[in-house]
Amino acid sequence: MTNLDVEWAKDWMRRASAILTEHRMELIDLDRAIGDGDHGENMSRGFAVVVTRLDEAPPEDVAGVFKVVAQTLMAKVGGASGPLYGTAFMRAAKSAEGELDSAWVVTLCEAALDGIVTRGKATTGEKTMVDAWTPAIEAARAAAEAGKSPAETLRAAADAAADGAEKTVPMKATKGRASYLGERSIGHKDPGSTSTSYLLATAADAAEAAA
Ligand SMILES: Nc1ncnc2c1ncn2[C@@H]1O[C@H](COP(=O)(O)OP(=O)(O)OP(=O)(O)O)[C@@H](O)[C@H]1O
Ligand SMILES: [Mg+2]
């Protein structure tokens, strides 16, 4: 596969649902440490509904898949992460036109971050999912400019997001519920940046499987 297509997008969501279910307890524990403990449940339940809806009425294109994701997460996932990821996927849907090549992977990550920032007003260093998406964009851009395939570009983004999530450990949270803890948020990994790294990892997995 040269470009990313609707089968990739559907496979991504199936894999996302599986990985978020697999890591449900981990995300719950991370959120329990600095939040209210609902992130694992929010994400696994939300993506399970996404998969059901995609099976019931399969969209025709990548934008259609992302629209289903956005609408489902907005409607079914409470807390901060539902609207944040919902807006990210709504922007991602708008970005999915023309050639869905390596350069578009960069556009996709930029669109997602743009949605998250519009909604949540966070910048880097505030111990949020922004700290995973921002290095993901930089890594994707470097990969795309080096002529890497869409799958390789997604893998670069995913690895950078995982690294970004690890780097939230020493940060002090200044956005969301974790900010109520102040200094006591230091020493814990941010749950939202962790789920972002899983989402991007499964995007890469799906692209590699289709290659
Ligand atoms: N303003 C924000 N901008 C970007 N990401 C944010 C923001 N607020 C919270 N987050 C992300 O959302 C994650 C928490 O999502 P969760 O599903 O637990 O919702 P929640 O319990 O309502 O969130 P929170 O406790 O942060 O208000 C955090 O780990 C962080 O990555
Ligand atoms: Mg929470």
DSSP 161-176: HHHHHHTTTTPPP-SS
Ligand 1: residue of 26, 87, 129, 131 to mutate (most ligand atoms within 8 A of CB) is 129
pLDDT for residue 1: 60
The pTM is what? Answer: 0.97
**What Å distances lie between residue 49 and 98, 167, 179, 202, 207, CA to CA?**
28, 31, 30, 17, 22
pLDDT for residue 211: 77
pLDDT for residue 43: 96
pLDDT tens for residues 55-96? 999 999 999 999 999 999 999 888 899 999 999 999 999 999
Tell me which residue has its CA closest to atom 23 in ligand 1. Answer: 80
Give the nearest ligand 1 atom to 193 CA. Answer: 31
pLDDT for residue 78: 81
**Ligand 2 center from residue 20 Cα (angstroms):** 15
Average pLDDT over residues 37-45: 95
Q: Please provide the average confidence, as pLDDT, over all residues in the chain.
A: 97
Q: At residue 24, does pLDDT exceed 90?
A: yes
Average pLDDT over residues 114-133: 98
Contact 43, 37 (CB under 8 A): no
Tokens 């991370």 map to which residue? 30
Share of the chain above pLDDT 90, in %: 96
Q: At residue 115, does pLDDT exceed 80?
A: yes
**What Å distances lie between residue 108 and 36, 135, 166, CA to CA?**
30, 14, 22
**Ligand 1 center from residue 146 Cα (angstroms):** 34
d(CA 130, CA 23): 20
Q: At residue 12, does pLDDT exceed 70?
A: yes
Nearest C-alpha neighbor of 91 from the set 77, 73, 70: 70
Domains and CATH numbers, the chain: 6-210 (1.25.40.340)
Q: Residue 161: exposed, middle, or buried by beta-carbon count in 10 A (0-12, 13-18, 19+)?
A: buried
Ligand 1 pocket, 185 CB below 6 A?
A: no
pLDDT for residue 40: 96
**Ligand 1 center from residue 196 Cα (angstroms):** 12
Q: Distance between the two ends of the chain, CA-based, in angstroms?
A: 5
d(CA 145, CA 147): 5
- Who's near 156: CB < 8 A, 6+ residues apart? 139, 140, 142, 143, 148
Q: At residue 204, does pLDDT exceed 90?
A: yes
pLDDT for residue 79: 84
